[in-house]
Structure 1
């Protein structure tokens, strides 16, 4: 911009972006140089035209600056909006992740609760099964005890019956023995009686024989005497 007003010529090679809205590009400098060249070529123009041109250029520059400022503002606003959207998206994502974590925790807690409830139910079922088994075992033991008591009672009754039978058999044996003794005594008494009777008969026979003998002795002398 200051090259036309310098005393010595300036040689400059411009490089870089040619469409940046903030910095002056090569095209902008070229256009200004052309306008300045035309301004210097037309020496007959009035100073007002120059001022107007300068004002127009300044207005253009201001307009470019305002546009660039607006663009910057729009870009900043869009960047802010994007940042806000990204932050809101991140927040939403964090909220969703926290909600998912909470849901997962709730599900895990529910699963744990269900597992605990199932474990408790299983424990209760096992305890009830154990109680039933204990009751069945106690019932079996009671039944076995009752059966053993019945067997003992039956054995005692059978032993009593056997004892009674033995006692009755002994009594019968004693009665038979006593009957046999009585019978023996009766037979011995009968034998004694028979012997006594036989002895009496013998004695009577002997007495009768003696009487006969005496009679015979007494009869013989009478006969002799008759003779």
Structure 2
């Protein structure tokens, strides 16, 4: 286990994810203030289609989205309003391997292209029916974690950020974490999904 994965998490910035209406919506909050409202527009549970709105309702501007095509395990992430293509920045979470849960994404940080990987983690204070996830950089340093809550309604999930990589990367992290959470939640109840293979931890 990485040193940064201890339950005390010194230096981490925490964001709380709460949900309602049977996982059809989420709120991302910090210090009691809602910064993003998220609508789950999925047409089927294994293909997440999430819309992120600035503020606490759908009346705010669309600032990001996640979408999975019908025949792909990859997740397309966009920043900006997908209805306004000229304003959108896109990145793709690419699934690596059948026997492990790894998703790789390339992002621009300080004008440099960098590669990050989402993995499952045996985090000591993980809870709920879906596994905790960690985001690591090229040196395998943990830059973020997602600890999902339990039950049919998402409660008290936590996103921990260990590095300040800019606002765009932070929003990408929230979008990716919730998209992967939806996919792992579906796997827990559907053994025929594309995530039904045994997974490894690293």
Give the TM-score of the pair, scaled to structure 2: 0.18
Q: Which has the higher contact order (CA 8 A, sep 6+)?
A: 2
Decide which structure has greater helix share.
Answer: 1
Using structure 1 for the length normalisation, give the TM-score: 0.17
Please tell me whether Structure 1 or Structure 2 has the larger radius of gyration of its CA atoms.
1
Structure richer in strand, relative to its length: 2
